[in-house]
Structure 1
Amino acid sequence: MRLLFSALLTVLAALVAYRIYQVLQRPLPDDVVNPSQLRWIDELGRIANILETSSKAIGFNPATKPVKSLVDIGFSLVLNPTFWRKAADNIKVANAVYGNVPVITFTPGELASLTSPRPVMVYFHGGGWTWFSAGSYNVPLRTLASKTQFVIVAVDYRTAPQAAFPAAYDDCLAVTKHVVDNAKKLNYRSDLIIVAGDGSGGNLAASVAIEMKQKIAMQLLISPALQILNLGTPSYQDMNDVLPGVTNPRREITHWLNYANLDQEPGFIDDMLNNVHASKHLHELYKDFFNSKKRIPAHMNVSERHTLPHVRTKHGTAYKLDKFVTDVRFSPMMVKNTKGIPNAYFISCHYDVLRDEAIMYGHRLLESGVKVKFRHYPSAFHGFVLFAGSSFWKFPVSDKAVNELVDFLQFQYFNVRKERTE
C-alpha cells in the first residue's frame, strides 16, 4: 500500500511538473507587460474556465453560494494577498446599508474629519454579475480611495444566477439614488457624485448613469461589458485565444447568460459564439452602433478586422434573448438617445474582448456632445487596473492607469470647486 501511495504521488508530481513546464513554454504576445507573472494569472483563469465548463457539461452550475464564497476568498488571496501587499492603511472602512442594499464605505483619513461635503464614488465590482463581492475588492478600493481622495461606496449587489437580471441593476440604482437623495445628510458633495465599475460593474455603472443623468457628475467605465447584440466586433475576433484565462468570448457569454437566467438553455453558448443569437431586424436597426469603420477612430484602430455582418439567426435563441438585447438596463450601449448622459471617463486595454464596444460607445457619446476622456492601454489585459499599487504583481501600466485617473479627477475636482464657489 505504501509503495502504491508513493507511486501515485510520483505520478501526480510528474503531472504538476509537466503542467508547469507547459505554462512556462506557452507563447505570449510580445508587448504584454511582465509576461512571467501574466502567465500564472492566465493559467489560474484557464483552470477556472475548465472547471466551470466541465461542471456545466454535467448539468451543474458552479455558481452556488458555497463555491462563490470559496472563489471570493481565492480571488482576495491571489489579487490582494495582504501578507505581501500592504493595503493603504489611512482608510476608514465601514459597513452600511444604503437603499436596503449592503455597502462598504472607504473613507480616506484626510476626509474622515472634514465638516465640508466630500466627493463620492459609487463603485460596482466586476465578476460577470456572478462572482466576487464588495469585500473581495478591499485592497484595490483602499488604493483607489487613498489616491483619488474620494469616499468610495462599494455596492454589495445581488449576483446571478440566484438573483438574475434586473437584481444587480436594481441594487446599484437603489444605492446611487440613496447617495443622491441623502448627500447632505451623508456629508457628500451633491455636485461631485461619480458612478464607476469594471467589467460587469462597468455595465452597471453605464446603465445607472443613463437612468440618473443630470443627477451625477461623471461615469467611470473600466473595460465595461456593454452589449450582446453583435459578438463579432474586432476585439471579440482578436481575443478568441490569446489570453483565454484572462479574457475570451466563451467566458463573457457564460456570464451574460447567468445574468439573464438563461444559463441552462441548451445550445445558447454556441449560438452566441457563432453570432446567430439575435434577430435580423435588431441587427439592421442598430448596425450603425457597431460599424467599426465609423465608430473606431483611426488612431485607436488596433485590428485589421471589422465587425462581422449579420448572416443568419437562430430563431429559437433570438426569441428568448431579443428582449435582453435591447433593454438599456441590461445592454446600456443600445441606448438610442445619448444626449444628456453624464460625462464619461473610459479605461480600455488591448487584450480584452470588450475593448471595441467601449470605444464605439464612447464615440457615440462624443457625437452627442457628452464630454469623454478615453485612456487606452495597448500592452494591458482585462482586469489590469485592479493590480495598481501591488508590491507583488509588477504591472507598471496598472499604476499608470490609476495615476492618470487621479490626475484627471483632481483637475475635475478643482474645476467643479471653482464653479461652485464663484
Structure 2
Amino acid sequence: MRSSCVLLAALLALAAYYVYIPLPRAVSDPWKLMLLDATFRSAQQMVGGPTQLESNLIHSLGLSHHLIALNFIIVSFGKKSARSSLTVKVTDTEFDGVEVRVFEGSPRPNEQLRRSVVYIHGGGWALASAKIEISYYDQLCTAMAEELNAVIVSIEYRLVPQVYFPEQIYDVIRATRYFLQPEVLDKYKVDPSRVGVSGDSAGGNLAAALGQQHPHEGELHSFTYIAGLKNKLKLQALIYPVLQALDFNTPSYQQNVNTPILPRHVMVKYWVDYFRGNYDFVQAMIVNNHTSLDVERAAALRARLNWTTLLPSSIRKNYKPVMQTTGDARIVQEIPQLLDAASSPLIADQEVLQDLPKTYILTCEHDVLRDDGIMYAKRLESAGVNVTLDHFEDGFHGCMIFTSWPTNFSVGIRTRDSYIKWLDQNL
C-alpha cells in the first residue's frame, strides 16, 4: 500500500512537472492554458517530426506524414457530437472544385439580401478543418452566421503536406471568386456590396494575401482566377495573423519565445513545412541568418518591417533588433518564397496596401505574432486604409476558438464577441 502511494505521488509530481510552465500573470486562465498546452505538446511529441516518419504510431493510424498524424489527433480531440444551433442552415458543397461549408443565418425581418463573410481557418497551413465536425471552427462560424444573420463561407483549402505554397492561396482565390459571381450571390441571397473576408493565424495570412491580389503584381498575382476580385470585398478582418517570415526576433517573438500555444520554434517549422523546405535551416532562421545583410534583397525587404519605427515604445521596450551581418544565403536560394509578398503580406508594396478595404486586426499580448499584426496596422494606416486594431492584454495565440467547455477561456469569449461586434457594425 505504501509503495503504491509513493508511486502515485511520483506520477502526480511528474505530471505536474510536465504540465507546469511559467506564464505571465496577466494571461487568461493560466492553469487551463497550461493543460491545453500540455495536450498540444503531447500530441506533437507522439507523432514526432520529419526524422521520425516511420514511427509505429503514424503507421498504426495508416498515415504517412507527421502533420497528417498530428491533425488526426487534433481533429479527434475536438470532435463535437451535435450542432449548437437549430437556426443556422449548414451545407457542404464545392466552389470551383474547392470544398466549402456554408453557414446560412436566418434573414432579418424585411431584409431581402444578407451580408456575408468568407472565412479561412488557421492551423499553420497544415492543421484543422472547415468541414470536419470539430467544435473550434464549426462553432465560430455558426455563431457568426447566427449573430450577424449572415452567410458564412468557410473554405476547406488543401493542407500541407497534400499541397504547398502557393496552392493554399489558389484554393482561397478560386473559392472566393466563384462565390462572388452574381448568380451564386443571388442563390444565397447575399448583398454583393456587403461581402468581407476573414481568417485567423495562417488563415489570416491567406485572407491578407487574398486581399492583396491585383493583376499587375508579380508572378502569383497573374494567376488567372484573380480577375473579378478587386473592389468586391467590403472589408477584411484578420485574427492574430501570421504576416511575415523575415524577422523571427521582433519584440513579440523575443518576449513570447516559449509561450503557448505557439512557441517561436514551432512557428518557424510551420513556415518551413509550408514551403517544403529543409528542417536543417530552422535554427539558422530562428536567429535571422536567412535575412542577414549579405543576403540579396533581404535587407531592403526587412526595411518594410522595421519594428523600431513601426511599433510604439510600449511594445518595443528594451528589445534590440537582430540583424546579422553575415548569414546563410543558401536558405533564401533554396526557399525564395520567404521573400515573397504573397506569403508575407506585411512586406507588400505601398501601392498594393493603399487599395485594401477597411480592416480589422485582432492581436494578443502573449503571442509571437502580436507584432506582425501591429506592424501591418501601422503600414495600412500609412497607406490611407481605415484600420481598427483590437489588442487583448490577456490574450494568447488561438484563444478566439476556445470558447466552449473544457477549453473555454474568458478571453476567448471576449475576443469572439469583440470581433463579431465589429463585423456587425462595419459589414
TM above 0.5, yes or no, is yes
Matched, 1:220 2:233: no
**Which moved further from structure 2: 181-190 or 221-230?**
181-190
Q: CA deviation at 1:34?
A: 1.1
Q: CA deviation at 1:208?
A: 0.3
Matched, 1:278 2:274: no
**Which moved further from structure 2: 325-334 or 225-234?**
325-334
Q: CA deviation at 1:114?
A: 8.1
Contact 1:233/1:290 (<8 A) preserved = no
The aligned counterpart of 1:29 is 24
1:94-151, Cα deviation, whole Å (9 max, x unpaired): 111112101001112346x987221111111111111111123212221232223321
**Which moved further from structure 2: 117-126 or 61-70?**
61-70
Q: How far apart, CA to CA, are the structure 2 residues paired with 1:95 and 1:400?
A: 29
1:55-111, Cα deviation, whole Å (9 max, x unpaired): 32335597956876764564346456558xx72332211111112101001112346
Distance 1:41 1:81, change over 3 A: farther
The aligned counterpart of 2:144 is 144
Distance 1:68 1:325, change over 3 A: closer
Contact 1:68/1:132 (<8 A) preserved = no
The aligned counterpart of 1:121 is 117
Q: Letter of the aligned partner of 2:296 in structure 1? A: H
Contact 2:118/2:155 (<8 A) preserved = yes
Q: CA deviation at 1:180?
A: 1.4
The aligned counterpart of 2:179 is 179
Matched, 1:95 2:92: yes
Q: How far apart, CA to CA, are the structure 1 residues paired with 2:329 and 2:53?
A: 24
Distance 1:269 1:370, change over 3 A: same
SS at match of 1:155: strand
Give the one of 405, 411, 414 matched to 1:400: 414
SS at match of 2:103: strand
| Count of aligned residue pairs for this structure pair | 395
The aligned counterpart of 1:315 is 329
**Alignment TM-score, normalising by the size of structure 1:** 0.85
Q: How far apart, CA to CA, are the structure 1 residues paired with 2:8 and 2:141?
A: 38
Following superposition of structure 1 onto structure 2, how do residues 220-369 of structure 1 map, counting pairs within 5 Å?
A: 220-243=237-260, 246-262=261-277, 265-278=278-291, 280-298=295-313, 301=315, 303-321=317-335, 323-337=336-350, 338-369=353-384
Q: How far apart, CA to CA, are the structure 2 residues paired with 1:87 and 1:73?
A: 23
What is the percent sequence identity of the aligned residues? 26
Q: How far apart, CA to CA, are the structure 1 residues paired with 2:32 and 2:94?
A: 38
Q: Letter of the aligned partner of 1:208 in structure 2? A: L
Distance 1:285 1:34, change over 3 A: same
Q: How far apart, CA to CA, are the structure 1 residues paired with 2:377 and 2:25?
A: 28
Distance 1:302 1:77, change over 3 A: farther
Contact 1:126/1:197 (<8 A) preserved = yes
Q: How far apart, CA to CA, are the structure 1 residues paired with 2:410 and 2:37?
A: 18
Q: How far apart, CA to CA, are the structure 1 residues paired with 2:139 and 2:70?
A: 16
Matched, 1:58 2:52: yes
Q: How far apart, CA to CA, are the structure 2 residues paired with 1:82 and 1:392?
A: 14
The aligned counterpart of 2:105 is 108
SS at match of 1:353: coil
Distance 1:25 1:404, change over 3 A: closer
Question: Unaligned stretches of 5+ in structure 2?
Answer: 214-228
Q: How far apart, CA to CA, are the structure 2 residues paired with 1:45 and 1:32?
A: 18
The aligned counterpart of 1:39 is 34
Q: How far apart, CA to CA, are the structure 1 residues paired with 2:211 and 2:383?
A: 15
Q: How far apart, CA to CA, are the structure 2 residues paired with 1:71 and 1:167?
A: 21
Q: How far apart, CA to CA, are the structure 2 residues paired with 1:357 and 1:193?
A: 25
Contact 2:103/2:151 (<8 A) preserved = yes
Contact 1:213/1:342 (<8 A) preserved = no
Contact 2:208/2:345 (<8 A) preserved = yes
SS at match of 2:359: strand
The aligned counterpart of 1:166 is 166
Q: Letter of the aligned partner of 1:233 in structure 2? A: T
